[in-house]
Structure 1
Amino acid sequence: MRWLLIILMFMMVASEMNAQQKLFMSHYMHNQFAINPAFAGSREVLTAFGGYRQQWTGAPRAPYAQYFTAHAPLKNENVALGLSLYNEQFPVVRNSGFAFAYAYRVRMTNGSRLSFSLSGGMEFSSASWDNVSLLQPDDPVFGYNETASEPQLRFGVAWYSSNYFVGFSIADLFYKNMFDEDSPFFEPGKSDYLITAGYLYDVSQTLSLQPSALLRYNPDLSTTLDVSGTVILHNLIWAGVTYRSNNELIGLLGWQVTPQLRLAYSYDYPTGDLSNLNSGSHEVSLQFDFGYRIATVSPKFF
């Protein structure tokens, strides 16, 4: 048990040493804009999305995160803008930041849209090294705190309609390890590369199926794949499951409270050796569509 606990703590500290790394978001299929700025305006109304994630519940100094996004098309429907805010707390490092997104959308002949986007902002990180428990408490290497800030630039492209989506994004073209003075300023090859895809299939008037997937590739870290399947009943409630390749099984629940308001919850259950050291991760989210004007009684799931 002791060596498993050491591994868990090493994973948490090692992940936060790389400021680029973000906590996984299980509700990616309902908030694609959070991982790809090209989805700005994809719901054709002003959409606000907020979420909270508690990672590895029960583990010492377990990470957590809050995030908020808002995006909308302009009067010129070929242009959409977006805003994202986030705050992540790890055992030692805290990351927070903001970004503004601009997306140019081309309407295709079949009614779908092809979107290209750039998103720019700032990330602020602080490392509280004095929070690290040491065998030698007076070690001067860990006796101080450190702060850093860097610009961020993201790129995304997406193709979507009312019943499918495909997207590719680069998390940060200005990737930099903030706490490494020798780290190059422009190192996109070490950023996260994200590919998403999903489809909405209507089995009947009351039943729909929504398969989706998210691939996260990083040259310096392990590649992770989320494969999800969701069942939607009466366009009001849904339940689903996701398998994540890093040995996690995720349960998804959601409720379309009104045509504008949506609530969602997920529980990530670890299935590997570390399952004995934490009781899983929880995520809750709230989405609201302002100025709802879609000409159908069915809410938009993409």
Structure 2
Amino acid sequence: MTSRLYIAVLLMAVTLQGKGQSDRLPVQYFLTPSLVNPALSGKGNNIELRVGYRHRVIGIDGSPATYFFNGEKTYFPQGGIADRLRRKMAEWTGHQNTEVSGLLKVDVGAFAIRSEQGAFQHLEAGFNTAIHVPVGSRSFLSLGISPRIRNNRIDLSDLVVRDAAMDQSYQSLLLNGTSNTYFNINSGFSFHSGEFLIAYGIDKLANALVSGNEDLAIDDAVEHRFMGSYSLLINPDMELIPTALIRIISAFPVFYDAGVRWRYKRNIWAGLSYRSNKTLLGSLGFTTNHGIVFGYSYQHRSAGLDDFNNGSHEVVLGLSIE
């Protein structure tokens, strides 16, 4: 009975972590926007590399940890279909008689994310590609797609069962497996410039079980993600950037992140935001003249657990090449 209860609680926690929580969303998602929406792959510089680590300290063993890598390369095709598409978009938006200074951009990238929480492990890897079509002198309309593989696993090696032969829950896991692998396709679009961003993405637009125990029902819910930001220029060197992220998953409360970021000469920033799961976040970082990126964030969640420290630290390192 004890083992059944343990397994039931574990599976419930894993399902909630996979579907309803925000632990795998980067706190500093403005540094890795394509991990939230593939249409934002290539929104930055010519080459973007990011590595990050987040650890949620809750005062017990097996606290959540996430590691991620993201790399992107932007290409600027010209001539042929690229020029025709550019001209058609200029006509459609009414800019055919004005100079459209932006170039058509195509971005390709790859990423990997690993999350751990107690006995639960999640590994995700795939590719992003996006096309950014200029629709004005400084704005773009982009469409992105991201095929990926997701693997979910429960490690029961440390589980002690009094009567393993008679425990149906334990035997079911042994028989059907403690992991599964899914093939997903994510997609999204955005309208953006250097001053504003409006984006919509859908996570698990296509979702197919490749192998493993489908009864675990981990990480199989469709997610709708909305993002927005706008740069308010205070003076030529300083700006305030209000940001918002909304995530909708059926059968779960709507999740949102609302905040504001201060930026100086586009190279130094600090920000505060609030998430609907009663989490307060602070971040700061900088980009050097050589394109080295550093970002740090701390988040504190008010969970009503006085005996546990419920804070998370996230560090992002990167390289931006023009």
Cα distance in 1 between the residues matched to 2:17 and 2:142: 32
Cα distance in 2 between the residues matched to 1:215 and 1:287: 26
User: Alignment partner for residue 142 of structure 1, among 170, 191, 200?
Assistant: 170
Cα distance in 1 between the residues matched to 2:227 and 2:140: 16
Structure 2 counterpart of 1:158: 190
With over 3 angstroms needed to count, the CA separation of the structure-2 counterparts of 1:272 and 1:9, relative to structure 1, is: farther
With over 3 angstroms needed to count, the CA separation of the structure-2 counterparts of 1:10 and 1:148, relative to structure 1, is: closer
Cα distance in 1 between the residues matched to 2:184 and 2:137: 34
User: Alignment partner for residue 195 of structure 1, among 220, 226, 233?
Assistant: 226
Cα distance in 2 between the residues matched to 1:101 and 1:234: 29
Runs of 5+ in structure 2 lacking a partner? Answer: 1-5, 78-103
Does the alignment pair 1:266 with 2:297? Answer: yes
Cα distance in 1 between the residues matched to 2:289 and 2:170: 51
User: Alignment partner for residue 103 of structure 1, among 122, 130, 154?
Assistant: 130
1:181 to partner: Cα distance: 4.0
How many residues matched?
281
Alignment of 1:122-141 (within 5 A): 122-132=149-159, 136=162, 138=164, 139=167, 141=169
1:36 to partner: Cα distance: 0.5
Identical-pair percentage:
21
Structure 2 counterpart of 1:24: 25
Does the 8 Å contact 2:130/2:145 carry over to 1? Answer: yes
Cα distance in 1 between the residues matched to 2:256 and 2:74: 30
Structure 2 counterpart of 1:180: 214
Alignment of 1:29-178 (within 5 A): 29-76=30-77, 77-132=104-159, 136=162, 138=164, 139=167, 141-142=169-170, 144=174, 146-175=178-207
With over 3 angstroms needed to count, the CA separation of the structure-2 counterparts of 1:106 and 1:234, relative to structure 1, is: closer
1:142 to partner: Cα distance: 3.3
Higher deviation after alignment, 235-244 or 172-181: 172-181
1:91 to partner: Cα distance: 1.5
Higher deviation after alignment, 50-59 or 246-255: 50-59
1:44 to partner: Cα distance: 3.8
Structure 2 counterpart of 1:208: 239
Does the 8 Å contact 1:156/1:167 carry over to 2? Answer: yes
Cα distance in 2 between the residues matched to 1:165 and 1:128: 41
Structure 2 counterpart of 1:229: 260
With over 3 angstroms needed to count, the CA separation of the structure-2 counterparts of 1:241 and 1:21, relative to structure 1, is: closer
Runs of 5+ in structure 1 lacking a partner? Answer: 1-5, 293-302
Structure 1 counterpart of 2:89: none
> Secondary structure of the equivalent of 2:206?
coil
Report the structure number with the largest CA radius of gyration. Answer: 2
Structure 2 counterpart of 1:15: 16
Cα distance in 2 between the residues matched to 1:271 and 1:233: 31
Does the 8 Å contact 2:138/2:194 carry over to 1? Answer: no
User: Alignment partner for residue 276 of structure 2, among 237, 240, 245?
Assistant: 245
Does the 8 Å contact 1:13/1:92 carry over to 2? Answer: no
> C-alpha root-mean-square deviation of aligned residues, in Å?
3.0
1:16 to partner: Cα distance: 4.2
- TM-score, reference length from structure 2: 0.77
AA at the equivalent of 2:129: Y
With over 3 angstroms needed to count, the CA separation of the structure-2 counterparts of 1:79 and 1:238, relative to structure 1, is: closer
